[in-house]
């Protein structure tokens, strides 16, 4: 910053000359990046909100959102130290610990994972366990190895013969009224309704007990040790961004989302926000009193134990290294809820 001689002289006369370095330093922003796990969408809205409305800058940060997608490798960029923050989840960070990779969650924006199973209406599927009566459930391989194993262990009637690979094409599900299909609460049901004119039955796995944290803020463990202030500021600003996105004016954030992902529509964004609110994806449970982003040891342990129960992790894995609660559950942003 340059000052005229007159300005400098005036500051000196006022005895403020020694404040210049501190003032200049106060406006220096720490530049960091947050890598998402997919193309820009409303499910990333709070982060875009904090960029759009200056919340990150208020916390001394200049944040670049690195968009995910089919060809992105943002988790690898985090491991390599090319980005500071990543959109992770309980499963990812537990897997990292099992493989000896020092990653951890420092906040969880989604209290409920939005993974759903969908069925046709008017086919006698009224409750979750009715899905066991269907001949086919279209799932991705990850779902088959995780939540379907959990379903088989915890509910009667589900069997391997029901599994058919989901290729991200809903046509086989749409044509088979005796089938179910995996989906994301905020995405596939909307698209299927648009294509068919009927609304699928939706069963949120989180409401049935499958409870990983998702859309987390994940970091390399050494960042927590070396620069906890940076982590705290990013977490706090992101939380405020999510309150403003869900309960305030989100037009500027949505414009940024559509800039990064031109295929995103206003209709899809509106639907996604409505479903996140209806099902308490972001704001429910512990967050109601302790603030968005809250994580607890009890919640993390419950999910870890359920995955031990289906053989995904060994019981002696130190699950506590996959997360820390030191940055959350402090009520940050609660006053912004309208």
Domain span at residue 146 reads 115-208
Residues 108 and 120 in one domain: no
Residue 6 pLDDT > 90: no
pLDDT at position 133 is: 97
- Report how far residue 291's alpha carbon sits from residue 246's, in angstroms, rounded to the nearest whole number: 13
Q: Report the relative pairing of strands 179-184 and 30-35 from DSSP bridges.
A: unpaired
Residue 11 pLDDT > 70: no
- Report how far residue 74's alpha carbon sits from residue 82's, in angstroms, rounded to the nearest whole number: 9
**pLDDT for 197-218, tens place per residue?**
999 999 999 999 999 999 999 9
pLDDT at position 207 is: 98
**pLDDT for 319-331, tens place per residue?**
999 999 999 999 9
* CATH at residue 241: 3.40.190.10
Residue 183 lies in a domain: yes
- Report how far residue 73's alpha carbon sits from residue 70's, in angstroms, rounded to the nearest whole number: 9
Residue 49 pLDDT > 70: yes
- Report how far residue 198's alpha carbon sits from residue 149's, in angstroms, rounded to the nearest whole number: 30
Stretch 12-23: mean pLDDT, rounded? 39
- Report how far residue 152's alpha carbon sits from residue 147's, in angstroms, rounded to the nearest whole number: 9
**pLDDT for 113-159, tens place per residue?**
999 999 999 999 999 999 999 999 999 999 999 999 999 999 999 99
User: Over pLDDT 90: what percentage of the chain?
Assistant: 90
Closest CA to 104 of 333, 332, 321, 329: 321
Stretch 264-271: mean pLDDT, rounded? 97
pLDDT at position 71 is: 84
Q: How many residues are present in the chain?
A: 338
Residues 146 and 291 in one domain: no
Give the 3-state secondary structure of residue 236. Answer: helix
Residue 14 lies in a domain: no
Residues 148 and 39 in one domain: no
Cα 286 to Cα 109, 297, 298, distances in angstroms: 12, 12, 11
Closest CA to 216 of 85, 88, 320: 88
Residue 162 pLDDT > 50: yes
Half-sphere exposure of residue 328, counting CA atoms within 13 Å on the CB side? Answer: 25
Residue 3 lies in a domain: no
Query: For residue 27, what pLDDT band results from cuts at 50, 70 and 90?
Result: low
Residues 88 and 224 in one domain: yes
Query: For residue 17, what pLDDT band results from cuts at 50, 70 and 90?
Result: very low
> How many other C-beta atoms are found inside a 10 Å radius of the C-beta of residue 261?
16
Residues 199 and 292 in one domain: no
What single-letter DSSP state applies at residue 250?
A: -
More confident residue, 14 or 230: 230
Residues 278 and 239 in one domain: yes
What is the full DSSP assignment across 105-154?
EEEEEESS--EEEEE-TTSS--SGGGGGGSSEEEE-HHHHHTHHHHHHHH
pLDDT at position 12 is: 37
Q: Which residues contact 142 (CB under 8 A, 6 or more apart)?
A: none
Q: Looking at the DSSP assignment, which residues form a beta bridge with residue 323?
A: 105
Q: Tokens 């400098």 appear where?
A: 8
pLDDT at position 18 is: 39
Residues 260 and 203 in one domain: no
Query: Mean pLDDT, the chain, as a whole number?
Result: 92
């Amino acid at each position: 910053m340059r000052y005229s001689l007159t300005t400098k002289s005036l500051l000196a006369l006022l005895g403020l000359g020694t404040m210049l370095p501190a003032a200049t330093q106060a406006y220096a922003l720490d530049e960091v990046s947050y890598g998402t796990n997919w193309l820009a969408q409303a499910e990333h809205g709070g982060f875009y909100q904090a960029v759009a409305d200056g919340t990150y800058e208020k916390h001394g940060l200049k944040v670049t959102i690195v968009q995910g997608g089919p060809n992105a490798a943002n988790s690898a960029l985090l491991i390599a130290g090319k980005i500071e923050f990543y959109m992770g989840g309980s499963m990812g960070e537990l897997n990292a610990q099992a493989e000896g990779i020092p990653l951890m969650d420092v906040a969880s924006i989604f209290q409920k994972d939005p993974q759903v199973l969908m069925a046709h209406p008017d086919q006698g599927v009224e409750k979750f366990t009715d899905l066991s009566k269907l001949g086919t459930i279209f799932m991705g391989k990850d779902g088959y190895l995780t939540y379907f194993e959990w379903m088989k262990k915890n509910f009667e009637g589900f069997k391997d013969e029901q599994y058919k690979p989901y290729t991200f094409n809903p046509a086989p599900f749409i044509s088979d009224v005796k089938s179910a299909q995996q989906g994301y609460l905020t995405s596939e049901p909307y698209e299927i309704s648009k294509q068919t004119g009927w609304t699928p039955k939706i069963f949120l796995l989180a409401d049935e007990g499958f409870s990983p944290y998702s859309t987390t803020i994940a970091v390399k463990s050494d960042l927590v040790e070396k620069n906890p202030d940076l982590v705290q500021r990013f977490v706090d600003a992101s939380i405020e961004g999510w309150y403003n996105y869900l309960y305030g004016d989100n037009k500027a954030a949505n414009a940024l989302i559509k800039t990064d992902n031109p295929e995103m529509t206003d209709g899809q964004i509106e639907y996604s926000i409505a479903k996140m609110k209806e099902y308490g994806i972001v704001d429910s449970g512990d967050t109601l009193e302790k603030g968005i982003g809250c994580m607890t040891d009890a919640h993390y342990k419950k999910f870890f134990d359920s995955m031990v129960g289906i053989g995904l992790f060994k019981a002696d894995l130190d699950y506590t290294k996959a997360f820390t609660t030191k940055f959350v559950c402090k009520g940050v942003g609660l006053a912004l809820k309208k």
